[in-house]
Structure 1
């Protein structure tokens, strides 16, 4: 699975993209990310799966592209 990270999230991870094993749900993916990158626990971010933002615990299809999106503002 490809994980794209943006803004502060990419800074914490140390790179803008990760390749990891597939995870079945966003909750399990978050557990993995928090274990590997504990500083992420202190930052709010959204998750998008295949370019669609998801809320709560959402399924992740095999081979999906996941994006970690920091808070953004705009007008």
Structure 2
């Protein structure tokens, strides 16, 4: 991982769809750019509901991604 990269961690069915649990990507400024990249590289994700967490905080809408961030791709989950 470089100083200008972001670390992606995928869980559950999201990891299955992208065929890996971890990715290291060049820096992307926000969640819209990241999602555009992911949808282009992994078209199956376009029809899959999932959430993003940046540095362990849920991201809502267009959210800035800090350099060196850890971004989690989280499948839908239910509590109990």
TM-score (norm 2): 0.92
1:31-70 equivalences under 5 Å are 31-70=36-75
Partner SS state of residue 26, structure 2: coil
* Structure 1 gap segments, 5+ residues each: none
Equivalent pairs counted in the alignment come to: 75
Give the whole-Å Cα distance in 2 for the aligned partners of 1:63 and 1:22. 8
Moved >6 Å (runs of 4+)? none
Q: State the Cα distance separating 1:74 from its structure 2 match.
A: 1.7
CA-to-partner distance for each residue in 1:9-68, whole Å, 9 max, x for gaps? Answer: 000010100011010000000000000000000100000000000100000000100000
* Structure 2 gap segments, 5+ residues each: 1-5
TM-score (norm 1): 0.98
Partner SS state of residue 20, structure 1: strand
